[in-house]
Amino acid sequence: MKVSCSYCKEEHDLEGMEPCFGLPDLVSEMSPAARRFRVRNNKDFCRVTAMVLDGRDEPQCFLRTLLEFRVEGRLRPCRWGVWVEVSEVAFERTFDLWNDDARVDVPSWRATLANELPGYRDSLGLTGTVRFKNLTDVTYLTLDPNKHPLAVDQRDGVAAARAIEWLLTIAHGSP
């Protein structure tokens, strides 16, 4: 789907675009020195070492996951690449199952959204469940039913204009 952008006046092909966060917000907000010392990550997994100053005695564990939305008039959903915080047990289980074909049969597990999504104030900290949906993608997040606009949009789907707004935002350097 190509649309004319009101911001830059150019045409953008939105079909292949999906909003994506590179890191959990907690990690993005750390100083480079703290990040080097406390964070171990790759594109799908992130572990933050516990610090006495944080009042935590366990590491914080994060997974990259997909938050999927039906879009009016499109066969293909729009998926946000977001990070969720999970328990250390869930983190290790996910890592162990990553290349195992049986992973799609594993029950879902609890997670907390670790990114504040633009246009969805107070989305950081929303809870839900994560599961493997297929053998080719990372995990998927389903938000718990509640009245938060992000959960409503995931449950009910969004108008094409809303998805275009998201995608044009990333075409210009955000989130």
The CA–CA distances, whole Å, from 80 to 5, 8, 167 equal 20, 23, 10
Q: What is the pLDDT of residue 89?
A: 94
* Secondary structure element (H or E) that encloses residue 143, with its range: strand 139-143
How is residue 106 annotated by DSSP?
Answer: S
Q: What is the pLDDT of residue 55?
A: 63
Dist CA 31 CA 52 (whole Å): 17
Over the chain (175 residues), the average pLDDT of each successive run of 10 is 68 71 95 93 92 70 95 86 96 92 91 94 97 88 96 93 76 59
Q: What is the pLDDT of residue 53?
A: 57
How is residue 16 annotated by DSSP?
Answer: T
Pairing mode of beta strands 127-131, 78-86: unpaired
Structure tokens at 52: 């006495």
Q: What is the pLDDT of residue 11?
A: 73
Q: What is the pLDDT of residue 144?
A: 98
Q: What is the pLDDT of residue 85?
A: 97
Domain count across the chain: 1
Enter the pTM of the model: 0.87
Which ranges of 6-139 does DSSP label H, i.e. alpha helix? 25-28, 32-38, 88-97
Q: Is 74 exposed, middle or buried (0-12, 13-18, 19+ CB in 10 A)?
A: middle
- Quote the domain boundaries for residue 96: 2-171
